Amino acid sequence: MILNLNHLHGKSAGATAQDVVETVYKLVEEGQITPNEFASLRIQLDWIQYKQNFREVVSVAQGSNQRGPIMDVHIDTRQVVPGCLRDGILRAMARANPETSPEMRDQDRLPLEDFQSLRTSLVWEFNKLYWTRLKDWEEATGKSYERSLPGGVSDGHQPQAIADSVGDFWTLLKDMEAKKNLPAEIYILEIGVGAGIRMGLWLDKFRQLDQQRQTDYYPKLRILLGDYSLQTLDMSKPAVKDHADLCSFMVLDAVNPLKTLSFLRHKVMQVHSTNVYDNLPDEEVLRRDGRLYFVQVRAYLPMVDVMKISETFHLPVDKIRPSVFRLVEGGNDFLGDRSRCLAFWQEVWNAIRLEERLVMLEDLPDFPFPEGLDASKLEDILKDAPSDFRFHLSSGALESFLNTLPLLHPRGYLQVQDIFVTDFNAYRMGFHGPGKLDGTLLSWVNGVLLREVAERAGYDVHFAPFHYRKGSNTSILYTTRRE
């Protein structure tokens, strides 16, 4: 048996490595775990910092290779309470046993979909629903999106960070003016506008600096605020009302900004986003003994939550799954009234979990790698990485990144404030998602892959810590074209 401790939160964990070892030894002594099963076991001890997440206390990702079945058993030490390890491990291993019938395997859960890539899972439809109906969610919960963030405020709104960003941009424009290559129209793109607060504050600061230094750059600004939700765009307009003449609002797919803005190819001086990449469709890969396995998922509801939802909403169990799909398809009155539908949405989202299985890369010859990446490139990037670890492919973020670079002016830059993993070893020392954040979900972004893919495309990528808020996990990605 191999036991991996993937966190440094011993004091706040509900279980220690010793607790797990003693429990497993006891199960072997009782014959509940065979010596062969014991020899092939690999148990991961995680500490999931997101109070709402997609894991049960003990879960298992099952797969196989030429040597036989493999199991990745995950224990969330934060959720462990006295007495739960034994039953949790037994249930997880029984579910992974290929001899267990599908009926027995699913007796304690209601599957909502078939196994598939995480990026195509139902959970992303919930994510889309959240951003499309953000105002409805906030009214139902009585809490704004920002209040759900660490510290109750977005790092994108930090005044000194905005002031520094303004200063850097003004300096760039001044240098371009001195070299007589300042464009007549200065395009700035904000991807994922939120409430529009950051852009409003940024424009206030820039106008003030422009007036102080008498440079007359402000009237040349052309501000593009993009989001795929019309409701969000409408919510952002009051924050920039003092600069309305400079602003254009547009429905924009963050994964492919170029599709909407191809007419601005090589013209945008600054592209900025905050906490967008971590909210784009993603998937995970496991590297085990030098082999790559893709993590497929299946969304489900634990049966205990199914019964609670059935009782609360007077809904037969066999109607719950169809009701979930009506919800994500945009229905808001199928339970009789809008408020009941919003309550149903919240209950289902809180309860939803993800079951996992492992599929070897060789068994997925048509796997849709994100743009800029394929199997050989991934293997090359991983040549100096740990031999055994699990990491994000960050498919949505990677595609957004590559579909944004062509918009940049030769002197322009992309600036992203987000949560990045910049060293593969970090994946072996902490949980990096997916986790739930209010009604949405997020995963840390694989900055190593972004940097490697950017270099192959002729761009330099740098990461700097966000030093404006103590304890912040945010980093600032800064991308420019290589000279």
192-229 per-position pLDDT tens digit: 988 889 999 999 999 999 999 999 999 999 999 999 88
Determine the average pLDDT of the residues in 238-243.
94
Q: What is the pLDDT of residue 239?
A: 92
Beta carbons within 10 angstroms of residue 421's beta carbon:
23
Average pLDDT over residues 274-291: 90
**270 shares a domain with 402:** yes
pLDDT at 60 over 70: yes
Which of the residue ranges 1-5, 118-122, 321-325, 410-414 would you say has the lowest mean pLDDT? 1-5
pLDDT of residue 410: 94
pLDDT, position 311:
95
Q: Examine the domain organization and report whether 65 and 185 are in the same domain.
A: no
CA geometry: angle 367, 369, 375, nearest 5 deg: 85
Could you tell me if residue 415 is inside a domain? yes
What local confidence, expressed as pLDDT, does residue 106 receive? 81
Structure-block tokens of residue 412? 């322009």
| Average pLDDT for 148-173 | 85
Which residues form the domain of 434? Answer: 147-281+378-481
Same domain, 182 and 266: yes
Give dist(CA 461, CA 479) in Å, integer.
5
| Confidence check: pLDDT of 247 > 90 | yes
| 322 lies in some domain | no
Per-residue pLDDT band for 50 (boundaries 50, 70, 90) equals confident
Average pLDDT over residues 286-306: 92
> Across residues 120-127, what is the average pLDDT?
94
Q: Summarize the confidence of residues 383-397 as an average pLDDT.
A: 91
219 cis-preceded (ω within 30 degrees of 0):
no
Share of the chain above pLDDT 70, in %: 97
Report the length, in residues, of the chain.
483
Half-sphere exposure of 17 (CA within 13 A, CB side): 13
- Do 100 and 198 lie in one domain? The reply is no
272 and 178 within one domain = yes
Residue 149: its pLDDT value, please?
67
Residue 257: left (phi > 0), alpha (psi -120 to 50), or beta? alpha
Whose structure tokens read 């990745």? 72
Amino acid at 219: P
Residue 460 has pLDDT above 80, yes or no: yes
Residue 85 and residue 201 share a domain? no
If one compares 12 and 52, the residue with the highest pLDDT of the two is 52
Average pLDDT, the chain: 89
Instruction: Output the pTM of the full model.
Output: 0.91
Which segment of 331-335, 348-352, 362-366 scores lowest on mean pLDDT? 331-335
Average confidence (pLDDT) over 17-22:
88
Looking at the structure, do residues 159 and 87 belong to the same domain, yes or no?
no
Confidence grade of residue 151 (pLDDT, cut at 50, 70, 90)? low
Domain boundary among 54, 85, 107: 107
Neighbours of 142 (CB within 10 A): 7
Question: 219 and 156 in one domain?
Answer: yes
Q: How confident is the model at residue 148 (pLDDT cuts 50, 70, 90)?
A: low
Residue of higher predicted confidence among 234 and 190: 190
30 domain-assigned: yes
Range scoring the smallest mean pLDDT among 64-78, 121-135, 196-210: 64-78
Contact 463, 437 (CB under 8 A): no
Is 127 domain-assigned?
A: no
pLDDT of residue 150: 62
Q: Give how many domains the chain has, as a whole number.
A: 2
Among residues 84, 107, 130, the one where a domain terminates is 107
Res 115: pLDDT? 93
264 lies in some domain: yes
Q: Does residue 295 surpass a pLDDT of 80? A: yes
Highest-pLDDT range among 46-60, 200-214, 379-393, 435-449: 200-214
Confidence grade of residue 133 (pLDDT, cut at 50, 70, 90) = confident
